[in-house]
């Protein structure tokens, strides 16, 4: 079963060494998104990047301890993402945050279909 709908993708760009109450910030953000019942969150660790300071962060062998770039992607309905933004204010010191409208295509197996759902819905 396939369904499509509009949503908002929230991207948070931080450094791997960023913390929130002595825990990795990326972990705290994902747990907070889950606590707020947002649809999904993923953390991506970048092997190379730079930000406002133009300082290069890399995962090259001799520099494994560097502060690598991290991107947290959270997707949900616009209202829920907008309601989540004030939560970020209390967690993030310095970061870049972007939001964009996206078209979500969800694929569900027969076991995940709601009771009474049409087994072969029309194509959207």
Q: Give ∠ CA 25-34-85 in degrees, rounded to 5.
A: 65
Q: Cβ-count burial of 70 within 10 angstroms (0-12 exposed, 13-18 middle, 19+ buried)?
A: buried
pLDDT tens figures, 40-95:
999 999 888 877 777 777 766 555 556 789 999 999 999 999 999 999 999 998 89
Is residue 120 included in any domain, yes or no? no
- CATH for 17: 3.30.70.120
Is residue 93 included in any domain, yes or no? yes
CA 97 – CA 6 distance, rounded (Å): 20
Residue that has been written with the tokens 């009474």 in this structure: 116
Is residue 122 included in any domain, yes or no? no
Is residue 83 included in any domain, yes or no? yes
* Contact by Cβ (8 Å): 80, 36: yes
CA 100 – CA 10 distance, rounded (Å): 7
Q: Output the pLDDT for position 29.
A: 98
Is residue 117 included in any domain, yes or no? no
Q: Residue 31 in 3-state DSSP?
A: helix
- Give the domain extent around 9: 2-112
Number of domains observed in the structure of the chain: 1
Q: What is the pTM of this model?
A: 0.80
pLDDT tens figures, 1-14:
889 999 999 999 99
Is residue 121 included in any domain, yes or no? no
């Amino acid at each position: 079963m396939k369904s499509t709908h509009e949503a908002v993708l929230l991207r948070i760009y931080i450094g791997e060494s960023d913390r929130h109450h002595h825990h990795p910030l990326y972990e705290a953000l994902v747990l907070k998104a889950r606590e707020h019942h947002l649809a999904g969150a993923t953390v991506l660790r970048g092997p190379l990047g730079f930000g406002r300071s133009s300082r290069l962060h890399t995962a090259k062998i001799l520099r494994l301890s560097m502060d690598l770039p991290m991107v947290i992607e959270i997707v949900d309905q616009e209202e829920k993402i907008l309601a989540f933004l004030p939560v970020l204010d209390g967690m993030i010191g310095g970061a870049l945050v972007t939001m964009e409208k996206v078209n979500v295509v969800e694929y569900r197996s027969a076991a995940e279909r709601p009771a009474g759902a049409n087994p072969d819905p029309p194509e959207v």
